[in-house]
Amino acid sequence: MGGFLSWWDGVELWLTGLPFVAQSVVVIPVVLALAYTVAVVLDAALDRGIQLQQRLRHSRGEAADDTEGSDG
């Protein structure tokens, strides 16, 4: 962990030493890539959650229909 933190400190020092435009050119693509990755992961997780919820509702609906049909 110490090696990674040392490397990160070096990256921070290098980045803060750059002019503003150069900092932007380096940081913006990294931030956009991270934001895109987070959005894709969240989209997939929410999609699976919604599919699971729909399956549960569908199976509960079928169970209710079966019990209503046998009573009448």
Q: Give the structural domain span for 67.
A: 21-71
Asked if the structure places residue 27 within a domain, the reply is: yes
Give the model's confidence band at 70: pLDDT under 50 very low, under 70 low, under 90 confident, else very high. low
Asked if the structure places residue 53 within a domain, the reply is: yes
- Is the pTM higher than 0.85? The answer reads no
Asked if the structure places residue 8 within a domain, the reply is: no
Note the pLDDT of residue 18. 94
pLDDT in tens, 4-21: 999 999 999 999 999 999
**Number of domains present in the structure of the chain:** 1
Query: Which amino acid, 7?
Result: W
Asked if the structure places residue 32 within a domain, the reply is: yes
Asked if the structure places residue 10 within a domain, the reply is: no
Q: DSSP secondary-structure letter at 72?
A: -
Tokens of 17: 């030493």
pLDDT in tens, 27-57: 999 999 999 999 999 999 999 999 999 999 9
Q: If DSSP codes are grouped into helix, strand and coil, which group holds residue 17?
A: coil
Asked if the structure places residue 58 within a domain, the reply is: yes
